Amino acid sequence: MLFLFFGILLALFQLLLFYNFYWKRRHLPPGPTPLPIVGNLLELGKKPPGYDIFLKWREEYGPIYTYWVGEQPMVAFTEYSLINETIVKDGDNYTDRDFFQDFYTLARGKNGLVHMEGQAWREHRKFLMNVFRNLGVGKNLLEQKVLSEFSAMCENIDKAIGECPIGEDMEIISHLDLCVGSIINSLLFGYQFHGEKTEEFVELKKILNEYMYTIGQPSTQFLMSWWPHLIRHLPYFKEIFLEVQRKIMRTYAFFKKQIEEHENDGEYLGDERLDFVSAFMREIKLRDGKENYDTETLYAHLLDFWIAGQETTTDTLNWGIIHIIYNMNVQDKLHKELDSVIGSNRQITLADKVDLPYSNAVVNEIMRISNVLPQNLARRTVQDVHVRGHLLRKGTSIQPLISCVLYDENIFPNSRQFLPERFLNENGTLKRFDEFIPFSIGKRFCAGESLARTELFLIFVNLFNQYEISPPKYSEMPSKQQNFGLSVVPLPYKCQIRKRLDSQKE
């Protein structure tokens, strides 16, 4: 009997090996060998955020390979030419979202734009893009909103400088957070985080930071990939799921309050272009809650927009300041161009961009080297597709790793060095790269690209026109450690901030 028992165990073990090392991988591009159950999550978790391991796998297996998140395969596209010939030229076949949407549906109910698929995604994306265009995104109205919030931020920074003992180090993260948060909130809800509303923002930002950190952890990724309908009930994973859900519900409570205020004042029923919530509530009434135009979908859209519109922009701005602190010669060149072209502390506008090639190069290099999304939102194939000799079945999860393109040594030599000059031609004009795609490309490129680019340029360039930012005197130098959640977040840091006076520019 004992011999039979061990014989069965041995047979099951051999069957597991056969399934794990051959059967489940037989129709997929080659890649790192996955462990049973956990896949390649241990390798990904060794050195987050994962840039190095993705590039290492590309060297070993080529530009297309398969890695495993738990028992779910992810086919990685890691070169620009491959991403362009698939995601762009054959884009209609790569518009579905990955398997993670099951987890999000369980955690928060209906999905927002990020995880929608098919006709619902097409309809809502078109509607949302039209709404934001009407609210000024891509137009002068957005520029005015950004510059107004930048002015409010400068008032807060100047006040902090005045209250700070002379020569003391200061933090700037909270000022940038509040500025970007006010911009996105004005578009979504129609008001800024000024005065007493500041504490409201601080609480909301804290919840979202915790949510994004939890979502990005390997244990959560495992839960998301391995039958979440079942795994979420098991010890340990149950608490992770409930923690994610609690963060979502606390965020939704904030949204609910704003939506109820819109309902009570009734202004959303008019034709005025007030804010996103007003526009969506009008559409709910017009469509009688059909076609995913309902309050639950509105909550999901708002969460997606808050995360996409806030976190990645402030992370990029803060990484930019950190890189400037480590490369003060870049700030000297930046100030020289600004003093020559602008010549005063007036606000710089988008109309000035064409005359500021070095400033543009600095902002581009900040976006490239910050590389705040090591893994983009994955997609699924809509039908069977052939890619460079591989047949990828319908429903295969595709990961276009933009991070590998931005760190591609063949395109951006010395890619881990902060070198704004790489974006300049020999004659000093701005150099363009097709491969510079920080907002992704294809049918599902970032819907907030226009907003983010406007914010990054106007806030960053105006900030350095108004201030000189230098290494801290009494604190440690800012850390370059990359704290990974859904995006790569810099650790808190301090620096020296000094107002640049007109007399210093003459």
* Stated pTM of the model: 0.92
238: CATH: 1.10.630.10
- The set of residues, in sequence order, having a beta carbon less than 8 Å from that of 457 and lying 6+ positions away, is 350, 353, 359, 360, 363
- Is residue 84 located within the same domain as residue 206? no
Of residues 457, 477, 474, the one with CA closest to residue 465: 457
Q: Point out the domain boundary residue: 406, 429, 456.
A: 406
Q: For position 254, what pLDDT does the model report?
A: 93
Domain count, the chain: 2
Tell me, what amino acid is at 205?
K
Domain span at residue 6 reads 1-94+398-406
Rounded CA-CA distance 261/205 in Å is: 21
**Residue 17 domain-assigned (yes or no):** yes
- Is residue 266 located within the same domain as residue 280? yes
- Is residue 36 located within the same domain as residue 114? no
- The set of residues, in sequence order, having a beta carbon less than 8 Å from that of 238 and lying 6+ positions away, is 232
Asked if 94 and 381 count as a contact pair (C-beta separation under 8 A), the reply is yes
**Residue 45 domain-assigned (yes or no):** yes
DSSP 156-201: HHHHHHHHSPTT--B--HHHHHHHHHHHHHHHHTS----TTHHHHH
DSSP state at residue 465: H
Other beta carbons within 10 angstroms of residue 276's beta carbon come to 22
Tell me, what amino acid is at 2?
L
Of residues 259, 264, 261, 265, the one with CA closest to residue 280: 259
Compute φ and ψ for 110, nearest 5 degrees: -70, 155
Q: For position 506, what pLDDT does the model report?
A: 44
- Is residue 136 located within the same domain as residue 225? yes
Other beta carbons within 10 angstroms of residue 319's beta carbon come to 23
**Residue 382 domain-assigned (yes or no):** no
Q: Point out the domain boundary residue: 389, 406, 423.
A: 406
Rounded CA-CA distance 318/325 in Å is: 11
Rounded CA-CA distance 440/75 in Å is: 17
**Residue 384 domain-assigned (yes or no):** no
- Is residue 486 located within the same domain as residue 419? yes
DSSP state at residue 408: -
Pairing between β-strand 397-400 and β-strand 72-77 as defined by DSSP bridges: parallel
Q: Point out the domain boundary residue: 362, 389, 406.
A: 406
DSSP state at residue 78: -
- Is residue 121 located within the same domain as residue 163? yes
Residues for the chain: how many in total?
506
- Is residue 329 located within the same domain as residue 364? yes
Asked if 362 and 319 count as a contact pair (C-beta separation under 8 A), the reply is no
**Half-sphere CA count of 471, side-chain side, radius 13 A:** 10
DSSP state at residue 477: P
- Is residue 149 located within the same domain as residue 202? yes
Q: What is the pLDDT along the chain (506 residues), one digit of tens a residue?
A: 667 666 777 777 677 666 666 667 788 999 999 988 888 988 888 877 788 999 999 999 999 999 998 888 999 999 999 999 999 999 999 998 876 777 888 888 888 888 888 899 999 999 999 999 888 887 788 999 999 999 999 999 999 999 988 889 999 999 999 999 999 999 999 899 988 889 999 999 999 888 888 887 778 878 887 778 788 888 888 898 999 999 999 999 999 999 999 888 876 666 666 789 999 999 998 888 777 899 999 999 999 999 888 989 999 999 999 999 999 999 999 999 999 999 888 999 999 999 999 999 999 999 999 999 888 888 999 999 999 999 999 999 999 999 999 999 999 999 999 999 999 999 999 999 999 999 999 999 888 999 999 999 999 999 999 999 999 999 999 999 887 767 888 999 999 999 996 435 44
**Residue 103 domain-assigned (yes or no):** yes
Q: For position 376, what pLDDT does the model report?
A: 84
- The set of residues, in sequence order, having a beta carbon less than 8 Å from that of 158 and lying 6+ positions away, is 499
- Is residue 367 located within the same domain as residue 218? yes
- Is residue 259 located within the same domain as residue 279? yes
Pairing between β-strand 496-499 and β-strand 467-470 as defined by DSSP bridges: antiparallel
Q: For position 502, what pLDDT does the model report?
A: 42
Q: For position 67, what pLDDT does the model report?
A: 96
- Is residue 167 located within the same domain as residue 266? yes
Q: For position 214, what pLDDT does the model report?
A: 86
**Residue 128 domain-assigned (yes or no):** yes
446 in a known ligand binding site: yes
**Residue 286 domain-assigned (yes or no):** yes
**Residue 380 domain-assigned (yes or no):** no
- Is residue 71 located within the same domain as residue 100? no
